[in-house]
Structure 1
Amino acid sequence: MVIKKDIIIIGTGFSGMGMAMKLRDSGRQDFVVLEKAQDVGGTWRDNTYPGCECDIPSHMYSFSYELNTGWSKSFSGQPEIWAYMRKVADEQGLRPFINFGVEVKGASWDEDRRVWTVRTASGEDYEARVVVAGVGGLHIPNIPEIDGAETFAGPRFHSASWDHSVDLKGKKVVVIGTGASAIQFIPIIAQETEHLTVFQRTPPWVLPKKDKPTPEWRKKAFATIPGAQRAYRNALYWSLEVRAIAFNGHLDVLPFAEKIVTKYLAKAIPDPELRAKLTPDYRLGCKRVLQSNTYYPTFLRDDVDLSTDGVREIVSDGVIDGNGVKHEADVIIYGTGFHTIDAFDYLDIKGKSGVDLAAQFRETGVETYMGIMVNGFPNLAFMLGPNTALGHNSVVFMIEQQTKFIIRMLDEMDRRGAVAVEPTKEAQIEFNIEIQRLVEKGIWTQGGCTSWYLDSHGKNRTIWPKFTFQYWWETRKVNAPDFAWEHAA
Structure 2
Amino acid sequence: MSHSVLIIGSGFGGIGMAIRLKQAGLHDFVILEKADELGGTWRDNTYPGAACDVPSHLYSFSFERKTDWTRRFPPQGEILDYLRHCARKYGVLPHIRFGTEVTEARFDAGDGQSNAVWRVSTSEGDELTARVLISACGQLNRPALPAIEGRESFTGPSFHSARWDHGVDLQGRKVAVIGTGASAIQIVPEIAAEAGRLVVFQRSAPYVIQKPDRPYRRWERMLLAAVPGVYELSRAKIYALYESRAVGFVKYPRLMKIMEKAFRKGLEAQVPDPALRDSLVPDYPMGCKRILVSSDYYPALNRPNVHLVTDPIARITPTGVTTADGTDHEADVIVHATGFLSTDFLAPMKITGVGGRELNDVWRHGAAAHLGITVSGFPNLFLLYGPYTNLGHNSIIYMLESQYRYVMGCLGALRKADLDWIDVRPGVLDAFGREMQERLRSTVWETGCASWYMNAEGKVVNNWPGFTFAYRRATRRPDPRDFRARRAAPLATPGTRA
TM-score (norm 1): 0.98
Name the residue aligned to 1:476. Answer: 476
Map residues 123-142 of structure 1 onto 2, 5 A cutoff. Answer: 123-142=125-144
Contact 1:207 1:292 in 2 (8 A): yes
Unpaired runs of 5+ residues, structure 1, are none
SS of structure 2 residue aligned to 1:128: strand
Q: Is 1:214 the equivalent of 2:219?
A: no
Q: Is 1:107 the equivalent of 2:105?
A: yes
Distance, in Å, in 1 between the alignment partners of 2:216 and 2:104 is: 44
Q: Is 1:30 the equivalent of 2:31?
A: no
Map residues 68-107 of structure 1 onto 2, 5 A cutoff. Answer: 68-107=66-105
- Shift of residue 249, structure 1, vs aligned partner: 2.8
Map residues 368-407 of structure 1 onto 2, 5 A cutoff. Answer: 368-407=369-408
- Shift of residue 457, structure 1, vs aligned partner: 2.1
Letter in 2 for 1:454: M
Contact 2:7 2:32 in 1 (8 A): yes
Distance, in Å, in 2 between the alignment partners of 1:152 and 1:281 is: 32
Map residues 239-254 of structure 1 onto 2, 5 A cutoff. Answer: 239-254=241-256
Name the residue aligned to 1:197. Answer: 199
Distance, in Å, in 2 between the alignment partners of 1:272 and 1:231 is: 43
Tell me the alpha carbon deviations over residues 147-169 of structure 1, each in whole angstroms, 9 at most, x when there is no partner.
11111110100000000000011
Distance, in Å, in 2 between the alignment partners of 1:126 and 1:159 is: 33
- Shift of residue 327, structure 1, vs aligned partner: 0.3
Q: Structure 1 343/409 Cα, relative in aligned 2: closer, same or farther at 3 Å?
A: closer
Map residues 342-353 of structure 1 onto 2, 5 A cutoff. Answer: 342-353=344-355
Unpaired runs of 5+ residues, structure 2, are 490-498
Q: Is 1:461 the equivalent of 2:476?
A: no
Name the residue aligned to 2:162. Answer: 160
Distance, in Å, in 2 between the alignment partners of 1:22 and 1:150 is: 45
- Identity score, percent: 44
Tell me the alpha carbon deviations over residues 305-326 of structure 1, each in whole angstroms, 9 at most, x when there is no partner.
1111111111110111011110
- Shift of residue 62, structure 1, vs aligned partner: 0.3
Name the residue aligned to 1:409. Answer: 410
Letter in 1 for 2:267: L
Moved over 3 A (4+): none
Contact 2:137 2:346 in 1 (8 A): no
Name the residue aligned to 1:301. Answer: 303
Name the residue aligned to 1:356. Answer: 358
Letter in 2 for 1:370: L
Contact 2:179 2:203 in 1 (8 A): yes
Tell me the alpha carbon deviations over residues 334-391 of structure 1, each in whole angstroms, 9 at most, x when there is no partner.
000000002444221111111110111014x211110001000000001000000111
SS of structure 2 residue aligned to 1:222: helix
Name the residue aligned to 1:57. Answer: 55
Map residues 254-265 of structure 1 onto 2, 5 A cutoff. Answer: 254-265=256-267
- Which deviates more from structure 2 when the two are superposed, residues 335-344 or residues 72-81? 335-344
Distance, in Å, in 1 between the alignment partners of 2:199 and 2:139 is: 29
Letter in 1 for 2:133: V
Among candidates 318, 326, 329, match of residue 327 of structure 1: 329
Distance, in Å, in 2 between the alignment partners of 1:219 and 1:297 is: 30
Map residues 165-176 of structure 1 onto 2, 5 A cutoff. Answer: 165-176=167-178
Distance, in Å, in 1 between the alignment partners of 2:253 and 2:200 is: 31
Contact 2:137 2:345 in 1 (8 A): no
Contact 1:140 1:343 in 2 (8 A): no
Letter in 1 for 2:485: W
Letter in 2 for 1:146: I
Distance, in Å, in 2 between the alignment partners of 1:89 and 1:321 is: 47
SS of structure 1 residue aligned to 2:344: helix
- Shift of residue 332, structure 1, vs aligned partner: 0.6
Distance, in Å, in 2 between the alignment partners of 1:488 and 1:236 is: 45
Tell me the alpha carbon deviations over residues 101-137 of structure 1, each in whole angstroms, 9 at most, x when there is no partner.
2111121111225110111101011100000000111
Distance, in Å, in 2 between the alignment partners of 1:111 and 1:485 is: 12
Distance, in Å, in 1 between the alignment partners of 2:73 and 2:384 is: 24
TM-score (norm 2): 0.96
Letter in 2 for 1:470: A
- Which deviates more from structure 2 when the two are superposed, residues 32-41 or residues 464-473? 32-41
